[in-house]
Copies of this chain bind each other. A is one copy, B any other.
Amino acid sequence: MRNSDATKAKLLDAARDVIRTKGYAAATVDDICAEAGVSKGSFFHHFASKEQLGIGAIAAFNQMAATVFSTAPYAAEHDPRDRVLGYVDFRASLLAMAIPEFTCLLGTTVQEIYTTHPDLRIACDEGMSAHVAGLTRDLDAAKKIYAPDADWSPESIGYFMQSVLQGAFIFAKAKQSAAVAEDSLSHLRRYLEMLLPKT
């Protein structure tokens, strides 16, 4: 028909952008339709409800993130330690963008809806955990080489890294500046260097 996939993608992108700037609850269906340049009738033809769009936007965001981080230069490093530190540096480099562009759709959403929209909450949880799982693989490999006997688990570091990032985003929003977030990522990097000593 006309172009189903394209309009759906436009709605998904618009949802991502509007939710990241206004939050999930304040992002109205009309807002998102206007941003996407699509009529409301078309919206409800493609999505059964606002919540379903949210779930779709989260899935699309996960996919986008997966390709961005798997194709970034750091991901090609041979040493898993370099990949871990490269991840942090890469995320720091993203902070040069506008706040709604480097901010995490899932982290923003889950804060608001964790008691009111169970399906959305699960989608956020699974998406964030999948991202952590990717980090955990590199952390596990790096630990085997650089800190085989250390008493920390790679997975807990993966979550720790994400916590620092999510918290840094909150301060970036509060301060309308990514400067604090940059400093926090520097501390995160220093900690990882300490946990994975080079020699």
Contacts and interface: CB of A to CB of B under 8 A. Distances in A.
Interface residues of A, number: 51
Given A26-B112, A26-B116, A168 B174 contact: no
Copies in the complex: 2
A181 B111 CA distance: 15
Nearest to A23: B112
A114 B167 contact: no
Main secondary structure of the interface of A (DSSP, over half): helix
B170 A110 contact: yes
A133 interface: no
Interface stretch (A1-9, A62-70, A158-166): A158-166
Interface in A142-177: 152-153, 156-157, 159-160, 162-168, 170-171, 173-176
A171 B128 contact: yes
Contacts of A194: 191, 194
A106 to B, nearest CB: 8
Contact of A168 (B108, B163, B190): B163
A62 to B, nearest CB: 13
A115 interface: yes
Interface of A: 21-26, 99-100, 106-108, 110-116, 121, 124-125, 128, 152-153, 156-157, 159-160, 162-168, 170-171, 173-176, 180-181, 183-184, 186-188, 190-191, 194
Given A157-B187, A159-B183, A163-B171, 7 more contacts: A22-B115, A23-B23, A26-B112, A107-B167, A124-B174, A128-B174, A159-B171
